[in-house]
Structure 1
């Protein structure tokens, strides 16, 4: 794409979000934010795949004590982890695709494909050609030859992304392997989650630009370029955001949502969600929730806007204070991130800190990565502010991404004490010590004049 649309995005972001201090985003040149064409993305994605296989996988297999990891998938019924492991361009598994990762005594990992059609780099071909019966036989012989103590397969009760081995393929695997190896088969769920949640050095470098693109489109949408008070519907803005992403070659992973709150509406201090659709009027508070995926990495962002009334030159003081309270809630939450701490423990500590600070808040923060709702520690849910079994017990690891998501409810003097809900979500990375917002966070309102 040309530099001009990206420049326009960044100018909109700079104008709407003067982001000072900690967590601020530095606005870079248009060239640095160029969106790669689909053909150009292949080389980048494959370079990152090799980096992950070379540097992350051996460490994670050792950490989770898996000696041989199997991924078996059929065309159009791919395992959720499949596309994170195969080179691009790839649209589906070919017939039955088998990937074998074997951890050797020196800690290195052999990567083998047992496929009717060889995958090529970064995989060595363990077998190719022949029929399905020969393929299963070749897989069994390959495993027997390596004689692993623990054979990891993708089955899980708690994690959908780690439960990708279908029942039919599971049964075929058991029939193919000698019975003496059956007792060595174990769930690979810990390895799958760690593989999916951990960001490599290259991914950590790329992620800020991806998030900045998402925020830039929001800045453009919450402006007079898109919104005419009294005429524009919230759905018009939502579709603008979606179509803008698609025009930029950025895939939305869900339909953007835009809603409004206004004086005279119904929003209680304990409300789960405040907002409605309709024609945008002056004095309205706007909210959007958007997510894109680019270079395999997904974002999830919620920001707030305000439509000035006639005669107003700035956002009312009560709303500015409400957004600042949302930022304080974010600070309380991210201060509780500690390596090894569970999502449930982070949630409990955040709720306690917010209560002491007198902040009415709801926390529902989740991991980000290859999926918008990615595996990792669940830190509250919008409909459950207590412990979450299984995923809430997962510990926090370094080099993992999160959508710092939740809301605060604040009584507005300008609305005769009616509550407004400030709904915020910003993509961030935890480096093992500190939470870093990948492209800053919203500390100022988007303004429609």
Structure 2
């Protein structure tokens, strides 16, 4: 099974991402600025201490803020947005280079431009709730207020809604490619959970982890966290520390894998079963356990409606799951430029009654989610031992409907 990137050439990747960025800046940003009520957005960062947002606004192959970069987005009365950059090197056609360092200091240039636009609400990247919207460093904040002066400093507001809206929303071109990224992740897991990688009695979970990591690296995919592979087995429950990491017949395997490609991230968890001697299929109890976890997925997706907050979705889905006798834990999250991306969290594994702040944000159209959860069920063939089926599949919420980007696991991978 081939593991190769959707777009192999780095040059082609950069060109495609820049096409997307140009479209996002032209079509998406003006709408989000209007929705957030901000008419002037300042994004400022220094090299190697980049605001998380600025790297989503700079065209490839930019890899940092180059000394100190200031981006300015000024919304005009007709709804269009002027895009300016105050930096020494420029960013091509996407931004007007508004600062000449031979004639003016950078902060003086900022002061002048603000006075010319005379904005009423100036958005800055400060947020007590979302880390991704809190990228303005303290020193840059102090410096920015001095440059703005008392009148305009008083007009500064948190740009939280603008930042989250920019990061979480996907344009049609991105959504068209996302299923291919998720399919690539499915192929990666299918190969990892096969005889190509695993020899029962020989291979360890660490071997599979590093195969996943190395394969992603060689395929030009950036792992955004270290993959994990774990074992449950009869007499070796998930509730106790593992007694071994060598994979044996009769083991139930679990993996958690995520990567970024073309600036977009995936996140997936699936299970495999290693057939024991004399078996031709997994125990019925494990098959049933997977089906019950699929049922939790169905109940959660049914509650993920535009306008509901993450906390509302969590409460409704959990109530329905408990009502039908399931034992769920729901901890789903947005996907996009980041793995744990901008937008409403839908539970945390240790906060099943709701997450203040991050889960009070409403779901929006044209957003992508990692549907991450688990369900516990007993397996009769394992002396009614509890088994945790932890699944994670990627889905898109668009047009008011949510659907899987590339299907989901409904059958265990089988290793013979």
- Range class of TM-score, shorter chain: over 0.9
Equivalent in the alignment of 1:217? 188
The Cα offsets for residues 384-404 of structure 1, whole Å up to 9 and x where unpaired, read as 101211111000100111000
Which of 179, 183, 186 aligns to 2:154? It is: 183
Deviation of 1:326 after TM superposition, in Å, equals 0.9
- Specify the SS of the correspondent of 2:43: strand
Structure 2 residue runs without a partner (length 5+): none
Structure 1 residue runs without a partner (length 5+): 1-7, 11-29
Equivalent in the alignment of 1:325? 292
How far apart, in 2, do the equivalents of 1:403 and 1:360 lie? Answer: 20
Equivalent in the alignment of 1:439? 406
- Specify the SS of the correspondent of 1:393: coil
Normalising by structure 2, report the TM-score: 0.97
Equivalent in the alignment of 2:36? 64
Conserved 8 A contact 1:35-1:249: no
How do 1:45-444 residues align onto structure 2 when only pairs under 5 Å count?
A: 45-130=17-102, 134-267=105-238, 278-444=245-411
How far apart, in 1, do the equivalents of 2:45 and 2:204 lie? Answer: 44
Deviation of 1:77 after TM superposition, in Å, equals 0.4
Conserved 8 A contact 2:6-2:180: no
How far apart, in 2, do the equivalents of 1:256 and 1:399 lie? Answer: 28
Summarize the Cα distance change of 1:9–1:252 in structure 2 as closer, same or farther, 3 Å threshold: same
Conserved 8 A contact 2:44-2:140: yes
Moved more, 112-121 or 78-87: 112-121
- Specify the SS of the correspondent of 1:391: coil
Conserved 8 A contact 2:332-2:370: yes
Deviation of 1:283 after TM superposition, in Å, equals 0.3
- Specify the SS of the correspondent of 1:140: helix
CA RMSD of aligned residues (A): 1.5
- Specify the SS of the correspondent of 2:59: coil
The count of aligned residue pairs is 416
How far apart, in 2, do the equivalents of 1:315 and 1:336 lie? Answer: 32
How far apart, in 2, do the equivalents of 1:50 and 1:446 lie? Answer: 41
How far apart, in 1, do the equivalents of 2:100 and 2:340 lie? Answer: 36
How far apart, in 1, do the equivalents of 2:6 and 2:168 lie? Answer: 26
How far apart, in 2, do the equivalents of 1:415 and 1:99 lie? Answer: 60
Deviation of 1:180 after TM superposition, in Å, equals 1.3
How far apart, in 1, do the equivalents of 2:142 and 2:267 lie? Answer: 38
How far apart, in 2, do the equivalents of 1:116 and 1:9 lie? Answer: 43
Conserved 8 A contact 2:75-2:82: yes
How far apart, in 1, do the equivalents of 2:341 and 2:169 lie? Answer: 11
How far apart, in 2, do the equivalents of 1:128 and 1:263 lie? Answer: 70
How far apart, in 2, do the equivalents of 1:237 and 1:228 lie? Answer: 10
Deviation of 1:238 after TM superposition, in Å, equals 0.6
The Cα offsets for residues 262-283 of structure 1, whole Å up to 9 and x where unpaired, read as 001234xxx5x98676000000
How far apart, in 1, do the equivalents of 2:330 and 2:215 lie? Answer: 30
- Specify the SS of the correspondent of 1:127: coil
Conserved 8 A contact 1:9-1:219: no
How far apart, in 2, do the equivalents of 1:34 and 1:403 lie? Answer: 20
- Specify the SS of the correspondent of 1:335: helix
Conserved 8 A contact 2:195-2:415: yes
Conserved 8 A contact 2:41-2:74: yes
How far apart, in 1, do the equivalents of 2:315 and 2:399 lie? Answer: 20
Equivalent in the alignment of 1:4? none
